[in-house]
Chains A and B, each alone.
Chain A
Amino acid sequence: MTAVGWLQIAIFAVIVGLLTHPLGGYLARVYAGERTFLSRLLTPVEAALYRIADVKPELEQSWYRYATAFLVFHLLGTAALYALLRVQSVLPFNPEQMPAVAPDLALNTAVSFVTNTSWQSYSGETTLSYASQMAGIAVQSFLSVASGIAVVIALIRGFARRRSATIGNFWVDLTRGTLYVLLPLCIVAALFLVTSGVPQTLAPPAEVTTLEGTTQVIARGPVATQEVIKLMSGDGGGFFNANSAHPFENPTPLTNLAEVVLIMVLGAALTNCFGRMIGSERQGWILLAVMAILFGLGVSGIYPLEAAGNPVLAALQVDQTPNSQQPGGNMEGKEVRFGIAGSALFANASTASSDGAVNSMHDSFLPLSGGILLANMMVDEVIVGAPGSGLFGMLLFCIVTVFLGGLMIGRTPEYVGKKIGAVEIKMAILALIWVPAATLGLTAVASVAPAGLAGLGNGGPHGYSEMLYAYTSATATNGSAFAGLNANTPFYNLTLAVAMFIGRFFVIVSVLAVAGALATQPIIPRSAGTLPTDGALFVGFLLGVIVIVGGLTYLPALALGPIVEHLQLSGGVLY
């Protein structure tokens, strides 16, 4: 470990912390329908879109109609992206004459990007045309995150409203999120990346003559625009197979820092937006504090582990100390320009945030580091998470926490003025149970199915970790890959698509049901019997619930993979 490494991590934390408050305020104004500094420019565009789509913005929806609109919108999006991938060979903007994507891979990819997962069983530069990248992948990256934010805004309205039968209008929330939040931020960030060396072109791949005299084809394309939404959306699907390890996606240590900030900033700002919308910013800071502690625990585990290096190499007396000649530590699968700290920070942010972008190969991390990356995803992506899904996951845990607190002190549980009754807790538990059920169930199937075992790149506990990581990543809508697993087979394409579908849509339907149930209630005043949710006690309580629920659910699975691999690594056994 080096001081510069820790400094990078500290700078990242300070930037995200400083941006949370102003961006949270902006988000609150946007979703409340108030004027912003972009209103003069965007209000006519917004009004025109409503006219074209025959949307009446003043008409609000019940939770059921909101959920139906959400599902119908994404059904059409999935079908459209599937069709685009299947006919890309006859469409323009295909300079490399890419053929149609295979049906099972097209299904997997369509579900992947519509669900904000961006699991990629393909290499972007050798599979997709520019039209598919721009009109398919990038568009769904925008829409999937805009709809995710819409869902959490609906849930926040459930907390904030008194005796209301409605939770907002899905079409309005979707449109405002895309127009006022995502597009402006992406334009600014894309220009920064272009000035840093990220390509943005429709020209075909460059053919160059190398120093040895051979010809090399260098893939390029409209990378910068897709890169930004890939990071900000919690999507993570790269233009290139190497994702953010590729120098055209992430050329410098400065872009690396900017990319990690982009991954986390919207999710962090939504906690402040939550606080403002319920009338207590402190409640938002409490949630951010819990997220920050969990994030800090993760990066404080991964960075020292990776910096210490591989114990097998240490036993062979290989020098793994950092010095002017080498970065030191476990550099397998990492980019020299980012080093251990830049890789550990990115990996922790990517798995904590549900983004799933990678700037290093997680398969090459030491077993315990890989276990931490898995654990980040296994706690339902509540450590900031993707914009929207991270916060609604955290709010579900808040509901469970006050419920447990209520059981302990014999009072009806309350959270931010709303009673948590039988229906709310049932819906919250249903929402939380879908992810582990799909993850562990499908991993179990893959562990015994010949088609599942055929895709493994390694044996023993490492091979098991590859499968567990794949289904955890898919169900948690993270999308990062452990590598090593050949997932482009009909078995993995279909089962991972099922995992992504359950992890996104069944969870969100449950969340919207919670929102609907909460919105109908009055807001009750705080009393002597109310468990305080704006202090250090609640931070500790919430942390405990997240860790214990996650631990009880997944510890046996982690023990079979990264934990046993770590113990065997100490004995010199490798997989």
Chain B
Amino acid sequence: MLDFIMLALIVVCFVLAQAYAGLCNQLLAFAPEQNDKADSP
């Protein structure tokens, strides 16, 4: 039983990391627009 809990914990942690990657990907989707606006004087 404990083994299943531990393996589930491992999977949950990696799912969270993948979800974080997804969030970063969403943020990066706006990157070109933001960088175009920020230009050197």
Using CB atoms and an 8 Å cutoff, list the residues of chain A in contact with chain B: 63-64, 67-68, 71-72, 74-75, 78-79, 82, 86, 103-104, 106-107, 110-111, 410-412, 419, 421-424, 426-427, 430, 498, 501, 505-506, 509-510, 512-513, 516-517, 520-521, 527, 529
The interface bits of chain B over 12-25 (1 if a CB of A lies within 8 angstroms of the residue's CB, else 0) are: 01100110111011
Q: Assuming the A-B contacts A75-B11, A86-B3, A107-B10, are A513 and B21 also in contact, with contact meaning beta carbons closer than 8 angstroms in the complex?
A: yes
Q: Establish whether residues B7 and A68, one from each chain, have CB atoms under 8 Å apart when the complex forms.
A: no
Give Cα distance in the complex from A430 to B14, angstroms: 18
Give Cα distance in the complex from A421 to B40, angstroms: 11
Minimum distance in angstroms from A100 CB to a CB of chain B: 10
Q: Establish whether residues B25 and A421, one from each chain, have CB atoms under 8 Å apart when the complex forms.
A: no
Q: Assuming the A-B contacts A411-B40, A411-B41, A501-B13, are A423 and B27 also in contact, with contact meaning beta carbons closer than 8 angstroms in the complex?
A: yes
Q: Which residues of B contact A75 (CB under 8 A)?
A: 10-11, 14
Give Cα distance in the complex from A107 to B3, angstroms: 9
A103, A410, A527: residue with the most chain B Cβ atoms closer than 10 Å: A103
Q: Which residues of B contact A79 (CB under 8 A)?
A: 7, 10-11
Q: Which residues of A contact B39 (CB under 8 A)?
A: 412
Q: Establish whether residues B32 and A71, one from each chain, have CB atoms under 8 Å apart when the complex forms.
A: no
Minimum distance in angstroms from B4 CB to a CB of chain A: 10
Minimum distance in angstroms from B12 CB to a CB of chain A: 10
Q: Which residues of B contact A63 (CB under 8 A)?
A: 28
Q: Establish whether residues B34 and A423, one from each chain, have CB atoms under 8 Å apart when the complex forms.
A: yes
Minimum distance in angstroms from B41 CB to a CB of chain A: 7
Minimum distance in angstroms from B39 CB to a CB of chain A: 6
Please name 19 further chain A to chain B contacts, defined as beta carbons within 8 Å, in addition to the given A410-B41, A509-B17, sorted by A numbering. Answer: A64-B22, A71-B21, A72-B14, A82-B7, A82-B10, A103-B2, A106-B6, A421-B38, A422-B34, A423-B30, A423-B34, A427-B27, A501-B17, A513-B21, A513-B24, A513-B25, A517-B28, A517-B31, A529-B40
The one of A82, A411, A516 in contact with B28, judged by C-beta atoms closer than 8 angstroms, is A516
Q: Establish whether residues A423 and B18, one from each chain, have CB atoms under 8 Å apart when the complex forms.
A: no
Q: Establish whether residues A509 and B20, one from each chain, have CB atoms under 8 Å apart when the complex forms.
A: yes
Q: Assuming the A-B contacts A64-B21, A506-B17, A509-B21, are A422 and B38 also in contact, with contact meaning beta carbons closer than 8 angstroms in the complex?
A: yes
Q: Establish whether residues B25 and A505, one from each chain, have CB atoms under 8 Å apart when the complex forms.
A: no
Which size class do B's interface residues fall under? 20 to 34
Q: Which residues of B contact A510 (CB under 8 A)?
A: 24
Q: Establish whether residues B14 and A104, one from each chain, have CB atoms under 8 Å apart when the complex forms.
A: no
The one of A82, A421, A498, A506 in contact with B6, judged by C-beta atoms closer than 8 angstroms, is A82
Q: Which residues of A contact B17 (CB under 8 A)?
A: 71, 501, 505-506, 509
Minimum distance in angstroms from B20 CB to a CB of chain A: 6
Q: Which residues of A contact B3 (CB under 8 A)?
A: 86, 103
Q: Establish whether residues B35 and A423, one from each chain, have CB atoms under 8 Å apart when the complex forms.
A: yes
Give Cα distance in the complex from A395 to B32, angstroms: 21
Give Cα distance in the complex from A44 to B27, angstroms: 41
A-B contact pairs, 29 of them (CB 8 A): A63-B28, A64-B25, A68-B18, A68-B21, A71-B21, A75-B14, A79-B10, A79-B11, A82-B6, A86-B3, A103-B6, A104-B6, A410-B41, A421-B35, A422-B34, A423-B27, A423-B28, A423-B30, A423-B31, A423-B34, A423-B35, A426-B27, A427-B28, A498-B13, A501-B13, A505-B14, A506-B17, A509-B24, A520-B31
Q: Which residues of B contact A67 (CB under 8 A)?
A: 21
- 9 closest A-B pairs by beta carbon, nearest first, are A421-B35, A513-B24, A423-B31, A103-B2, A75-B14, A505-B17, A412-B40, A509-B21, A107-B6
Give Cα distance in the complex from A558 to B34, angstroms: 39
Q: Which residues of A contact B38 (CB under 8 A)?
A: 412, 419, 421-422
Q: Establish whether residues B6 and A427, one from each chain, have CB atoms under 8 Å apart when the complex forms.
A: no
Give Cα distance in the complex from A208 to B14, angstroms: 47
Q: Which residues of A contact B27 (CB under 8 A)?
A: 423, 426-427, 513
Minimum distance in angstroms from B21 CB to a CB of chain A: 5
Give Cα distance in the complex from A510 to B32, angstroms: 18
Q: Which residues of B contact A86 (CB under 8 A)?
A: 3
Minimum distance in angstroms from B18 CB to a CB of chain A: 6
Q: Which residues of A contact B6 (CB under 8 A)?
A: 82, 103-104, 106-107
Q: Assuming the A-B contacts A78-B10, A411-B40, are A520 and B20 also in contact, with contact meaning beta carbons closer than 8 angstroms in the complex?
A: no
Give Cα distance in the complex from A64 to B5, angstroms: 29
Q: Which residues of B contact A64 (CB under 8 A)?
A: 21-22, 25
The one of A104, A422, A427 in contact with B24, judged by C-beta atoms closer than 8 angstroms, is A427
Q: Which residues of A contact B41 (CB under 8 A)?
A: 410-411, 529
Minimum distance in angstroms from B14 CB to a CB of chain A: 4
Q: Which residues of B contact A106 (CB under 8 A)?
A: 6
Q: Establish whether residues B35 and A521, one from each chain, have CB atoms under 8 Å apart when the complex forms.
A: yes
Q: Which residues of A contact B31 (CB under 8 A)?
A: 421, 423-424, 517, 520
Q: Which residues of B contact A498 (CB under 8 A)?
A: 13
Q: Assuming the A-B contacts A68-B18, A82-B7, A86-B3, are A520 and B32 also in contact, with contact meaning beta carbons closer than 8 angstroms in the complex?
A: yes
Q: Which residues of A contact B7 (CB under 8 A)?
A: 79, 82
Q: Which residues of B contact A512 (CB under 8 A)?
A: 21
**Closest B residue to A431 using CB positions:** B24
Q: Which residues of A contact B2 (CB under 8 A)?
A: 103
Q: Assuming the A-B contacts A412-B39, A421-B38, A423-B31, are A110 and B10 also in contact, with contact meaning beta carbons closer than 8 angstroms in the complex?
A: yes
B20, B24, B30: residue with the most chain A Cβ atoms closer than 10 Å: B24
Q: Which residues of B contact A424 (CB under 8 A)?
A: 31
Minimum distance in angstroms from A162 CB to a CB of chain B: 14
Minimum distance in angstroms from B36 CB to a CB of chain A: 9
Give Cα distance in the complex from A103 to B21, angstroms: 29
